[in-house]
């Protein structure tokens, strides 16, 4: 049975804090704090829209979160600067371990997909900019069903689009909410613990495996 690997994109493959250098160009003194708040609010807004069944795509959540972060932290940015930041968010870098691990997994015969809250167009642009688009058989976006992870429907959507079964599919994510969502939907999941201080949500729903870098993945999902 072939194994299908669904890679979360933002925060797992792509370093969302790659935006810090751009923030510093705009003299945002607390750039790292700003970046973290922006990311946290981006996810919060997607959760809230999913629960409210008031869908707007992930780019809208990202833009709204940017506006909130400016207001909360008292950062004054022009519309032009905000547009530059949003453009830069579509061209963020991959983590250093991503290309070697994807090459290893592709060579080993796994079916690799990008699976994201972002629209397919945005994700494809992001993966291409980061130089990793060719490793994937395709992009599966929740935008196609107008909701967000961790709605159970998103994981079923992935299985349908990739023609995979729960028993042969893994979600790979650095986001605990995503891991819990996938496991709850019957998939296996690897939590990429990129920060040693990261805490997994104590819900009694554990990842199948925990890894600190993507190069450790193959030993756990070996064909």
Report the catalytic residues: 8
Give the neighbor-by-neighbor strand order of the sheet with 188-192: 138-141, 111-116, 4-7, 169-173, 188-192, 209-211
* Per-residue 3-state assignment (H helix, E strand, C coil) for 120-186: HHHHHHHHHHCCCHHHCCEEEEHHHHCCCCCCHHHHHHHHHHHCCCHHHEEEEECCHHHHHHHHHCC
CA dist 156 and 66 (Å) reads 31
Q: Which two three-digit tokens encode residue 112? A: 């690799």
Q: Which two three-digit tokens encode residue 204? A: 């009694």
């Amino acid at each position: 049975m072939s194994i299908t690997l669904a890679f979360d994109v933002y925060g797992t493959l792509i370093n969302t804090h790659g935006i810090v250098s751009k923030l510093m160009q705009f003299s945002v003194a607390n750039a790292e704090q700003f970046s973290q708040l922006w990311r946290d609010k981006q996810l919060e807004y997607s959760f809230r829209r999913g629960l409210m069944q008031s869908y707007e795509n992930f780019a809208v959540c990202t833009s709204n979160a940017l506006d909130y972060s400016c207001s909360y932290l008292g950062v004054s940015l022009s519309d032009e600067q905000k547009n530059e930041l949003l453009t830069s968010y579509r061209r963020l870098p991959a983590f250093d371990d991503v290309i070697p691990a994807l090459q290893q997994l592709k060579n080993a015969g796994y079916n690799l997909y990008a699976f994201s809250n972002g629209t397919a167009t945005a994700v494809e642009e992001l993966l291409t900019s980061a130089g990793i688009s060719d490793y994937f058989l395709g992009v599966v976006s929740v935008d196609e069903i107008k909701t967000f992870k961790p709605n159970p429907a998103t994981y079923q959507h992935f299985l349908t689009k990739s023609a995979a079964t729960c028993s042969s599919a893994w979600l790979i994510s650095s986001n605990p909410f995503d891991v819990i969502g996938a496991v709850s939907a019957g998939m296996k999941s690897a939590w990429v613990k990129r920060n040693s201080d990261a805490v997994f949500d104590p819900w009694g729903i554990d990842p199948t495996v925990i890894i600190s870098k993507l190069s450790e993945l193959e030993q756990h999902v070996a064909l």
